[in-house]
Amino acid sequence: MVAVKANKQYTITEAEKKSYLAQGYDIIGDNGAVEHSPQATVPYAEYEKAQAEIAKLHDELAQVRAAKTKKGEA
């Protein structure tokens, strides 16, 4: 597995994983799964949630605009 932060990349063991996460490194497992550090400026889970909400709002806006166009309210 690999610990990555900025331009640094270290090969680590399972025993070192917790320490590197605490230092702000993201961990990329041997299978390619990424575990993001809880020390990130914006926790990745919150970022993903915000991105999903933005995508949902864009879809809703497109639907409203399409409905107005059909009614001739451009």
pLDDT of residue 45: 83
pLDDT of residue 54: 98
The whole model's pTM is what? Answer: 0.57
What tens-digit pLDDT sequence spans the chain (74 residues)? 999 998 999 999 999 999 999 999 999 999 999 998 888 777 788 889 999 999 999 999 999 999 988 887 65
Domain assignments of the chain as residue spans, ordered by start? 1-39, 42-74
CA distances from 29 to 2, 11, 23, 26, 41 (A): 7, 10, 17, 10, 22
pLDDT of residue 73: 64
